[in-house]
Chain A
Amino acid sequence: MRWSWIPDHAGELAMTTLEHTAIAAVAVLCGLLLALPLGVLAVRFPLLKGAVLGISGVLFTIPSLALFILLLPLTGLSYETAVLGLTVYTLVVLVRNTVEGLASVPPHVREAARAMGYGGTRTLLTVELPLALPVIMAGVRVATVMTISLVSVAGFIGHGALGQLFIDGFQRDFAVPVIAGVVLTLLLALVADLALVGVQHALTPWTRRGR
């Protein structure tokens, strides 16, 4: 094993890790922007709930590689294809957790808000969503870790960031880049997860009061 490959390519590895972070972050953010309204609609209109959860569940069964390839006629071998495909996979977790989070808000809290004269939108934004936040954030954490690991599949269409190292190592019959890619992916997932715990901590100060 030629371990010196790693220090020799340190700069490149750092850039690739940043690229990996960017792809995953954009995909999860897009997923969240889609999942929040879908989740809210699903809770408001029970008829939609089955459809939304069912469709996102079926999309989840499509192999990620096939999804990337099938997006090629629309967006080509581009960065957008990778992000779009990954966004689809975040939906199943994010929508389900948004629905569960909103459903876990106790009815009496909602009624109290109504009694204080809060309208529907204001109740949603200032009462229901904040109370649903811990469950939604749990979904964001799962989706983020999953996406960071899935980015590598986009390597087959040329946008795998750290996943590109796997294909490179495979083609050259050289394990060091593969090991570097796996380790960096795991580290990135760990750091991202810790960061999200921090974000959740900062966003939900009331969960700690009185302890």
Chain B
Amino acid sequence: MGQLIADVARWFADGTRWSGPEGIVQRLLEHLQYSLLSTVVAVLIALPIGLLIGHTGKGAFLAINLASFGRALPTVGVVILVFLVSGLNLWPVYVALVVLAIPVIVTNTYAGMAAVDHDVRDAARGTGLNGWQVLFQVELPLAVPLILNGVRLAVVQVVATATIAAYISFGGFGRYVFDGFAQNDLAQVFGGAVLIAVLAITLDLALSGLQRALTPRGLALQRRRSTR
């Protein structure tokens, strides 16, 4: 174990490891590209669905069950299946990561909408807001903390799973994991795992900052009072 840690330290200390077309910086950019693009597309698909079922209250049972079903989809299988159909391009990676991220964002968006107090919704109606105004001015802001919770969970999973891109010969930090495995070089696998975990945690922390900034002040105050 001590030997492995020393090897990993040496792996990171090698200056040539960081730059160039196969360097850590390049791999970071690739990994970010796969993860962020997939998460953005997943949000664009999942958010309207979650808001719609939360606002209308219709289709919730179906959507939630489909979402939990979607969670069972094995990502490796999806990547390979899309690869066999579409050939050597990035589609398999993007399709698999988007499919992976959608369920958790849908369920959390719906949970956020469902948690909005009925009295608040009635009050908004009573002051004369129409359906769209209730959705965008009342429900959405109140649901934002839980929606971002879903996005955070999705990002962590997507960053960890983007490793798979290397299996079909693309880049990202997964390169180190697969190459290290093939070359029986555990230090390289360990280095790749550390890089991926650090990236996931960094993005999670950044989003938790965003979450705090976007939480409506009334909601934050209310929560602080109730935990006291």
Instruction: Answer yes or no: are A and B bound together in one complex.
Output: yes
B168 to chain A: closest residue by CB? A170
Question: Could you say which of B79-87, B118-126, B217-225 contacts chain A?
Answer: B79-87
> Which of A142, A149, A175, A190 is the one whose CB lies under 8 Å from B74?
A149
**Is A190 a contact of B180 with CB atoms below 8 Å?**
no
Measured in the bound complex, the distance between the Cα atoms of B96 and A200 in whole Å is: 32
Does A131 make an interface contact (CB < 8 A)?
A: no
In the complex the two chains form, is A66's CB within 8 Å of B186's CB?
A: no
Question: Which residues in B have their C-beta under 8 angstroms from that of A185?
Answer: 72-74, 77
Per-position contact with A for B27-54: 1 when CB-CB < 8 Å, else 0?
A: 0000000000000000000000000000
Chain B, range 194-228, C-beta contacts under 8 Å to A: 196-197, 200-201, 204
Give the CA-CA distance A5 to B189 in the complex, in Å.
36
Given contacts A63-B174, A166-B80, A169-B80, contact A182 B201 (CB under 8 A): no
Among A63, A148, A151, A179, contact of B160 (Cβ-Cβ < 8 Å): A63
Within 8 A of B (CB), among A147-179: 148-153, 155-156, 160, 162-163, 165-167, 169-170, 173-175, 178-179
**B72 and A178 contacting across the interface, CB-CB below 8 Å:** no
Known: A145-B71, A155-B76, A182-B73. A63 touches B81 (CB 8 A): no
Q: Once bound together, how far apart are the Cα atoms of A67 and B197, in whole Å?
A: 11
A175 and B189 CA atoms in complex are apart in Å by 29
Instruction: Judge if B193 is at the interface, Cβ distance under 8 Å.
Output: yes
- Pick the contact of A175: B78, B81, B201 (CB < 8 A): B81
Contact with B along A110-148 (1 / 0, CB 8 A): 000000000000000000000000000000011001101
- B83 vs chain A, min Cβ distance (A): 7
User: Is the pair B193, A62 in contact by a Cβ cutoff of 8 Å?
Assistant: yes
- The answer to whether A63 touches B72, judged by C-beta atoms less than 8 angstroms apart, is no
Contact A166 B84 (CB under 8 A): no
Closest chain B residue to A148, Cβ basis:
B72
* Cβ-defined contact, B160 with A170, below 8 A: no
Report, as a range, how many residues of chain A touch the other chain: 35 or more
Cβ contact within 8 Å between B193 and A156? no
The minimal Cβ–Cβ distance linking A88 to chain B, given in whole angstroms, is 12
Chain A positions 62 through 94: 1 when the CB is less than 8 Å from some CB of chain B, otherwise 0: 111111011011000000000000000000000
Q: Please determine whether B193 and A163 come into contact, CB atoms closer than 8 angstroms.
A: no
Q: Are A70 and B189 in contact (CB under 8 A)?
A: yes
Chain A residues lying within 8 Å of B26, measured Cβ to Cβ, are: none
Chain B contributes a number of interface residues (CB within 8 A of A) equal to 37
Q: Count contacts between A and B, CB distance < 8 Å.
A: 121
Given contacts A62-B193, A65-B163, A66-B177, contact A189 B81 (CB under 8 A): no
Question: Known interface pairs A62-B193, A69-B189. Does A163 touch B74 (Cβ–Cβ under 8 Å)?
Answer: yes
Contact B186 A73 (CB under 8 A): yes
B73 close to A63 (CB less than 8 A): no
Q: Does B69 contact A (CB under 8 A)?
A: yes
Cβ A61 vs Cβ B160 within 8 A: yes
The answer, yes or no, to whether B159 is at the interface (CB within 8 Å) is yes
Give A67 to B75 CA distance when docked, in angstroms.
16
* A189 CA to B66 CA, complexed, in Å: 12
| Contact A178 B159, beta carbon cutoff 8 Å | no
Residues of chain B from 56 to 75 with CB closer than 8 A to chain A in the complex = 68-69, 71-75
Given contacts A65-B174, A189-B69, 7 further A-B contacts (CB under 8 A): A58-B197, A60-B160, A69-B181, A69-B186, A155-B76, A170-B83, A193-B68
**A residues within 8 Å of B by Cβ?**
58, 60-67, 69-70, 72-73, 141-142, 145-146, 148-153, 155-156, 160, 162-163, 165-167, 169-170, 173-175, 178-179, 181-182, 185-186, 188-190, 193
Listed from nearest, the 3 A-B pairs whose CB atoms lie closest are A189-B72, A66-B193, A61-B200
Q: Interface residues, chain B, CB within 8 Å of chain A?
A: 4, 68-69, 71-78, 80-81, 83-85, 156, 159-161, 163-164, 174, 177-178, 180-181, 186, 189-190, 192-193, 196-197, 200-201, 204
Could you list 13 examples of A-B contacts with CB < 8 Å? A62-B160, A63-B163, A65-B163, A65-B177, A66-B190, A69-B189, A73-B4, A142-B68, A153-B75, A178-B84, A186-B73, A189-B71, A193-B68
